[in-house]
Structure 1
Amino acid sequence: MALLIWAMMGLALWHFTVFLPDHFWGGIVGAFVGALVGSILFGLLVNLGVPGQDDTNFLVGLEAIPGALLGMGFFWWLGLRQMRAEGRIATH
C-alpha cells in the first residue's frame, strides 16, 4: 500500500511542472519519470523497505515529497546541462 501512496504523491507533484519552463531532460515525460522514481526510491530509503498495510499512515505519503522534488530537480539539472551543451541556453 505504501508503494502506491508514494507513486501517487509523485504523480500529484508532477502535475505542478506545467507551471515551469520545459528544461527537464526528456521534457514533461522526464519530469514524470523523475517524480515517480524519486518518490519511490526515497520512500524505500527512508523505510528500508515497503511498509505493510497496517504500518501505512498519513506520514507515509509525506515521505514521498522530498524524493519527488529531488528526482524532478535531478532531471531539471540534466536538461539544463544538455541545453547549455547544445547552445540553446546562454551560460552566465
Structure 2
Amino acid sequence: MAILTWVLISLAVWHFAVFVPDKFAGGIVGAFAAAIFGGIVGGLLLSGLSLPSRADTDVATVLLGIPGCLVALAALWLVGARAEAQREA
C-alpha cells in the first residue's frame, strides 16, 4: 500500500512540471518516469528500507515520497538543461 501512495503523490507532484520550462531530459515522459521512480526510491529510503503495511500507512507515509520525487525531477531537469546548453554552444 505504501508504494501505491508514493506513486500517487509522485504523480500529483509531476503535474506541476508544466509550470517550469520543458528542459527535462526525455521530455515530459522522462519527467513522469523520473518522478515515479524517485518517489518510490525516496519513500523506501526515508522509511528505512521497509515497506509499511496497509494498517501502518498514514499521511506521514504518503509525504515520504515527495522529497525523492523532487530530487529526481530536479536532477533530470538539470541534466536536460545542461545538454541543451551544450547543443546551443
Q: Work out whether 1:72 is the aligned partner of 2:80.
A: no
Q: Which residue of 2 aligns with 1:49?
A: 50
CA RMSD after TM alignment: 1.1
Identity of aligned residues (%): 45
Instruction: Give, in angstroms, the shift of residue 20 of structure 1.
Output: 1.2
Alignment of 1:1-92 (within 5 A): 1-47=1-47, 48-87=49-88
The one-letter code sitting in structure 2 at the alignment partner of 1:27 is G
Task: Provide structure 1 residue ranges, at least 5 long, that are not aligned to the other structure.
Answer: none
Deviating 4+ runs (over 3 angstroms): none
Q: Is the 8 A contact 1:34 1:74 kept in 2?
A: no
| 1:31-72 C-alpha deviation (Å, 9 max, x unpaired) | 111111111000011111211111111111111111110010
Q: How many aligned positions are there?
A: 88
| Structure 2: distance between partners of 1:12 and 1:40 | 14
SS at match of 1:77: helix
| 1:2-34 C-alpha deviation (Å, 9 max, x unpaired) | 000000000000001111110100010111111
TM-score normalised by structure 2 residue count? 0.93
